[in-house]
Amino acid sequence: MSITRRKFIQMLSLAAGGAAFASLTPEALAKSLNPRNLFSFSGEGNLTLVHTTDTHAQLVPVFYREPDTNIGVGEDKGQPPHITGKAFLKYYGYRPDTPEAYAYTCDDYARLAREYGKVGGFAYMATLIKRIRAERPGKVLHIDGGDTVQGSATSLWTKGEDMVTAMNKLGCEVMTGHWEFTYGQDRLKELIKKMNFPFVAQNVNDATWGDPVFKPYVIKQVGGMAVAVIGQAFPYTPIANPRRFIPDWSFGIKDGHMQSIVDELREKKADLIVVISHNGMDVDKKMASRVKGIDVIMGGHTHDGVPRPVTVGKTLVINSGCYGKFVSRLDLQVKNRAIQSYSFRLIPVISGMIEPDPEMEKLVEDLRAPYKEKLGEVLGHTETLLYRRGNMDGTFDNLICDALTEHYDVEFALSPGFRWGGTVPAGPITTEDVYSQTAITYPNTYKSTMKGSTLKNVLEDVADNLFNPDPYMQQGGDMVRSKGLEYSLYAERPVGRRIQDLKVRGKLVEPGKEYTMAGWASMAGQSGPPVYDIVTDYIKRKKTISIHNENQTLVA
């Protein structure tokens, strides 16, 4: 049976005054999320950091299925964030068939989604953040990790302006970025001028002269303390996204420069040094081991919702998931420019448990109003769950590949392993659903030919990006999706030996043979129809969609 918001609010009222809850211990209440303990927190100390990241322009609540597979290699094998499903629940002490299981894993996702409903949404995030600010007046700093102004139809159509307006209203105080750069350097500068908060990045420089493009850090006075926030933008932007959007800027990890900034801030007597990072969690952990003096890294990019900080030396490393599904709260006791103690909670934003903030709800309605009819257009229906996340495959990506294969009449199709993209339960598919998977500034598709040897090398290169044991050689994302290909991937083998038994249309690939293929989101400019148009037309023609994964096998 579904649980409506009204029912949750009734439960909340009973919990606030009912004798049934009076005899329960805090430990008993905390065993599973409910409207009462969603807000509960054993606050302490003199500072609270609130962290959001990777919302990908999702203004309203969505369905978002966590990955079924997230393989770590090298030192990160079997360590957070590379734990999923039942192993995740066991590691963190959560029970199956609970709101936590729904929030943190994909186990029994379709059933739990029917029961607990959508997650995220700026009106619901605003309620949580305002509640925290009310509890901790003058002690709260809200920072955002980027991938915020891209990922939806409205953000694409407004070139990110809707999200800047929403982030201003949310009260964000510092931000860094990644997909923000795909609007182009001139548009990004325009958006930054509209932000009521600084955009920081210590690792973005003028490509010719080496001058910093953005402020590397800001110092905020919070709770009577000087809190330094250093920005770490996605270091591989010109590789993962088209270079033509940011031709004059250079990127990189630049941990040597990071160390010099940390040392400078220590000399300036900063009470706390926080890095707001878009590295990805494995890269954050390695950076924490190499750069000394960082107190907290609040990270994003790889969309990992991690319920407890990972401690590397004296640095707390935190990742806060994506799509507005979580808000991180970190309470700190800071004394003598060091963390004495802390409390942390990764708060699931289960919208049915939260009353929306009226002001933000009105703003979101106004921002979406010009596009409401188009967003809600029903294109067709799906009989199967459509999702993106997982190291190897996602059913929505398979839908994209099916559409490309049919449109171009090719032997195989490729779709990038983007980690952003909502989940569509069995039922209607809308225009908004399609754009949640495809809303990029380089959506054009293409048809080409590729030799078997080149195909093998392409797959090996993508696999090395994902499974190289050195985190500094990883760029995030999942394995490229495909239609018409079969292969086995051995994650722990060296580059060149990971992809085995590669087949096109059921036949072993011949290295010298040319195969026809289609794709989208090319690093080079393309002139084919935008992918969202092809997928939209495909769904309208098919009317009913039933998708199953291809025959790729991941061997850890």
- Residue for token digits 């305002």? 130
CA 438, CA 420: separation in Å to the nearest integer? 9
Average pLDDT, the chain: 92
Average the pLDDT over 18-33 and give the result: 41
Residues in the chain: 556
pLDDT tens, 458-510? Answer: 999 999 999 999 999 988 789 999 999 999 999 999 999 999 999 999 999 99
pLDDT tens, 128-143? Answer: 999 999 999 999 999 9
Q: What interhelical angle do 281-290 and 255-267 show, nearest 10?
A: 60
Contact 375, 368 (CB under 8 A): yes
Chain CA centroid to CA 136, Å: 27
User: Pairing mode, if any, of strands 225-232 and 272-277?
Assistant: parallel
Residue-by-residue DSSP string for 539-553: HHHH-EE-----SEE
Q: For residue 553, what pLDDT is reported? A: 73
Say what the alpha-carbon torsion angle 210, 267, 298, 223 is, to the nearest 10 degrees: -130
The pair phi, psi for residue 279, each rounded to 5°, is -80, -35
> From the CB of residue 503, how many other CB atoms can be counted at a distance below 10 Å?
14
Residue 101 has pLDDT above 90, yes or no: yes
Taking Cα atoms as reference points, which of 325, 320, 306, 437 lies closest to residue 62? 325
User: At a CB cut-off of 8 Å and minimum separation 6, what does 145 contact?
Assistant: 51, 52, 53, 54, 175, 176, 276, 277, 278, 298, 299, 300, 301, 320
For residue 127, give the 3-state DSSP assignment. helix
66: left (phi over 0), alpha (psi -120 to 50) or beta: beta
Whole-angstrom CA distances from 99 to 366, 435, 491 are 31, 28, 32
Q: For residue 15, what pLDDT is reported? A: 35
Q: For residue 40, what pLDDT is reported? A: 79
CA 104, CA 99: separation in Å to the nearest integer? 9
Among the listed ranges 20-34, 161-175, 296-310, 460-474, which one has the minimum average pLDDT value?
20-34
- Residue for token digits 């407004």? 158
Average the pLDDT over 94-104 and give the result: 92
Average the pLDDT over 39-56 and give the result: 91
Contact 139, 43 (CB under 8 A): no
User: Pairing mode, if any, of strands 310-312 and 315-319?
Assistant: antiparallel
Residue 394 has pLDDT above 60, yes or no: yes
Residue 209 has pLDDT above 70, yes or no: yes
CA 159, CA 187: separation in Å to the nearest integer? 8
Please tell me what DSSP assigns to residue 119: B
> From the CB of residue 159, how many other CB atoms can be counted at a distance below 10 Å?
18
pLDDT tens, 522-535? Answer: 999 899 999 999 99
Sketch out the chain's domains with CATH numbers: 1-37 (no CATH), 42-60+138-351 (3.60.21.10), 376-555 (3.90.780.10)
Query: What does the angle CA 145 – CA 68 – CA 445 come to, to the nearest 5 degrees?
Result: 70
Q: Where are the beta strands (DSSP E) in 56-156?
A: 140-144
Contact 78, 170 (CB under 8 A): no
Whole-angstrom CA distances from 64 to 87, 107, 284, 460, 507 are 20, 12, 24, 29, 35
> From the CB of residue 239, how many other CB atoms can be counted at a distance below 10 Å?
13
Banded pLDDT at 28 (limits 50, 70, 90): very low
